[in-house]
Amino acid sequence: KMAIRELKVCLLGDTGVGKSSIVCRFVQDHFDHNISPTIGASFLTKTMPCGNELHKFLIWDTAGQERFHSLAPMYYRGSAAAVIVYDITKLDSFHTLKKWVKELKEHGPEDIVVAIAGNKNDLGDIREVPMKEAKEFAESIAAIFIETSARNAVNVEELFQKISKQIPPLENPEGDSNESFKLTRQPAPSTRRCC
């Protein structure tokens, strides 16, 4: 029996870039054009095999509008990975992404895995963010980079697979296999704002 590891992942990014759609595609393999905007956050899980382990993603999907950013620490606190999503057809959303990267570096968990997802890959003809630029940026911060299309189910699985691979394997995989090992970090006892 394979060990189950729980990985807390949060999705960040500008409003309307398709964070919820990516999660919806990944978890339910379903796409809805008019998925309700996330208020606060929503929580979903999905288990995926990785090597000889099972990774259970605990996905916190957050609200995109700027004024909800103040809530984000609640969600990225203790996360093993953060997926920052931008919309390849909206340059603004790429700028917002950079702000998120900055915030994560300043306030996020130290060894958080950052993945950058350029969503709406199916709308290539109205692209505003060149793939090269985004890729170079990702490399500059040592982040995973992938362009996705939640609508056409392109690279969504791959995104999470890449994250899985970046998570360091358990040091002792021979440990008690019945117990699921939690990789979620306990919140640091700091004076950081929390709710």
Partner 1 sequence: PPGTQESPAETNQSPGETNHSPPEPHESLAETHESEPKLCGFLLKQGGPLKAWKLRWFTYEDKKNQLFYYRTPQDVMPLGRIELCSATFTYPLKAEKGTFHIKTPERTFVLKAVTQELMLYWLQQLQVKRWQHRQMTTCPDSPSNNNSSSTAGENTTAESHHFLPLLKSPLGLVERKTQAEGIMVTLCRVQELVWILHKALEASQLEKRTCAEFLAETGEQERLELLRHRERQAADLRGQLEEVKAEAEVLRKGLAQREAQLSELQDDIRMLTEKNKAKQEVRTAGGQVASRILWFLTASHPQDDIEAYKTQNKFLNSEIYQLTGLWRTSSEQEKSLMMKCAFLEASNCQVESQYLSVLRQLQETKSLDPDQREAVQKMVEDALKRELKSVVKLRMARDHDEYGFKIIPDYEVEDMKLLAKIQALEIRSHNLLHQESIECPLLDRWAQYLAGRSDDDLCASPELKGLLRVGVPQEYRQRVWSWMVRARTRTIREHHPQCYQQLCEKSRTSAHPASRQIELDLHRTLTTNQHFCSPSSPALQQLRRILLAFSWRNPAIGYCQGLNRLAAIALLILQSEEDAFWCLVAVVEAIMPQDYYTKSLVASQADQRVLKDFLAEKLPRLAAHFDSHSIDVSLVTFNWFLVVFVESLPSDILLPLWDAFLYEGTKVIFRYALALFKYKEDDILKIHDSVEIYQYLRFFTKTISDGRRLIAIAFGDMNPFPRRLLRNRRALHLDRLQGELRELEEQQKEFVTERAERKDKELDTVASEDDEEL
Which residues are at the interface with partner 1 (CB under 8 A)?
6, 15-16, 27-28, 32-37, 39-46, 56, 58, 60, 63-68, 70-71, 74-75, 92, 95-96, 98-99, 101-102, 105-106, 137, 140-141, 186, 191-193, 195
Nearer to partner 1, 174 or 176 (CB): 176
Q: How far is the CB of 139 from partner 1 (least distance, A)?
A: 12
Q: Which of 21, 195, 27 is nearest to 120 (CA)?
A: 21
Nearer to partner 1, 132 or 174 (CB): 132
The DSSP output letter for 94 is H
d(CA 189, CA 68): 23
Q: Which of 89, 102, 96 is nearest to 62 (CA)?
A: 96
Helices 19-28/156-166 angle, 10° precision: 90
Q: How far is the CB of 64 from partner 1 (least distance, A)?
A: 8
Nearer to partner 1, 58 or 163 (CB): 58
Nearer to partner 1, 92 or 174 (CB): 92
Q: How far is the CB of 125 from partner 1 (least distance, A)?
A: 20
Q: Which of 108, 100, 169, 164 is nearest to 138 (CA)?
A: 100
